[in-house]
Amino acid sequence: MSETLVQLGRKTISSAPRREPRPDWLRIRLATPASYHKVRELVDRLSLHTVCQEARCPNIYECWGEHGTATFMILGDVCTRRCGFCAVTSGRPQTGVDPEEPAHVAEAVEVMGLRHAVITSVDRDDLRDGGAVHFARVIRAIHERNSSPLNTAVEVLTPDFRGVPDALDILLGAAPEVFSHNMETVPRLYRQARPGSRYDRSLALLAEAARRRDDGEYSGRVKTGIMVGLGETPGEVEATIRDIRGAGVEILTIGQYLQPTSKHLPVDRWVHPAEFAGYRALALSLGFAHCEAGPLVRSSYHAHEHVQRR
């Protein structure tokens, strides 16, 4: 089989499958208790998409089986961008926005008894507002249906909306308890890992949300996440953490990149848990309210704890 070569900065990395086994700290305990099947049946019945399934999250059995939580993916399951690390299908969406989706998501949150619901989406650059209005409708539907006795908190993990001026106004106007947008990687790797996105634009979106929080226009928290193991250096990771904190972000997640398929960017290295511990220590020393860092950490991993730590 021939190998595809991928340029990452000044490094040329083969995209052929890595032959060395995953280290012990990346071994996943598989378990499918009754609660896991209950969540899966509910998601299927309501025709919902979850990033847990679409992105092949390694924590799906823990979150669905032990915690009874899920991250809902709205606005369909086809993304208009082609990020080199993401398993979600790329292409041109063939369907519009589902007007019933806000009610279906709110129902799922109620049936699952969630006190913290995470809502994310594919990129929808085909929509004028990037899907901001639909996000707001989902947030409001969850709050309205789950105000008592659950008083469910809503976390949104959004695209960058391609810099649409009023997207953040629309979104924060619906008052999510946590606003999150992932930086994903260091500046040098953006062109390869996130074509169609820009490091400065993503950082500016987070900074604007943080400014509104500080000015009292928004009462929630601001969050982001990055991956390691794509070819970045520890120094670049540390500089990115400092950039993120400088933008006013309160919550940070850092996890190991795992190659979804042979067609995606290869794993450059397995990052040792001790290195993750060092990044977490740096983040906390810079003033982050919370930093979740570890090999299997993903954006919404233990997300319910982030609100509780206010």
What structural domains does the chain harbor? 30-308 (3.20.20.70)
Q: What's the rounded mean pLDDT across residues 125-140? A: 96
Distance CA 142, CA 26 (A): 34
Token pair recorded at residue 44: 């299927």
Summarize pLDDT for 88-124 with one digit per residue, the tens: 888 999 888 999 999 999 988 888 777 888 999 999 9
**Could you tell me which of 164, 106, 105, 102 has the C-alpha nearest to residue 132?**
164
**pLDDT of residue 76 exceeding 80:** yes
Summarize pLDDT for 240-249 with one digit per residue, the tens: 999 999 999 9
**Could you tell me which of 244, 235, 179, 302 has the C-alpha nearest to residue 292?**
302
pLDDT bracket for residue 17 (50, 70, 90): very low
Region class of 302: left (phi > 0), else alpha (psi between -120 and 50), else beta: left
The answer to whether 80 and 92 are in contact (CB under 8 A) is yes
Distance CA 176, CA 190 (A): 28
**Could you tell me which of 141, 167, 168, 170 has the C-alpha nearest to residue 154?**
141
Listed range (36-50, 205-219, 243-257, 281-295) with the worst mean pLDDT? 36-50
The pTM is what?
A: 0.83
